Amino acid sequence: MANLASTYRGQGRWDASEELQVQVLEARTRNLCADHPDTLTSMNNLELTWKRSGKETEAVRLMEDYVRFRKRVLGFNHPRSISSCRALDTWKAEQEDVVLSTQSPEDG
């Protein structure tokens, strides 16, 4: 199911990909645990799908969970934890830029 979701994502079929990825993430969380490497991979895949399909808020929230689990599993100073933190910071900055660009000067 995860491979099919990935194929759909590659084809730009965001809704179909998201539906399967949510199912995969729920099953892996239930059967493995939230911080299992396969569950984290599923979480990351869903984040990317949400971000690319314009669901930035949902993507950032899930990325925050992902980073928290990643740090718990690998440690704060692990290169992958650091990379994930940087990606999250970038995503949050992009969100802030979008908010600021949509505000009128009177909004301050």
pLDDT in tens, 73-102: 999 999 999 999 999 999 999 888 766 667
Instruction: State pTM to two decimals.
Output: 0.84
pLDDT digits (tens, 9 = 90+) for 14-58: 999 999 999 999 999 999 999 899 999 999 999 999 999 999 999
Distance CA 63, CA 79 (A): 16
Q: Which residues contact 79 (CB under 8 A, 6 or more apart)?
A: none
Tokens of 30: 């239930």
The string of DSSP codes covering 35-90 is TSHHHHHHHHHHHHHHHHTT-HHHHHHHHHHHHHHHHHHH-TTSHHHHHHHHHHHH
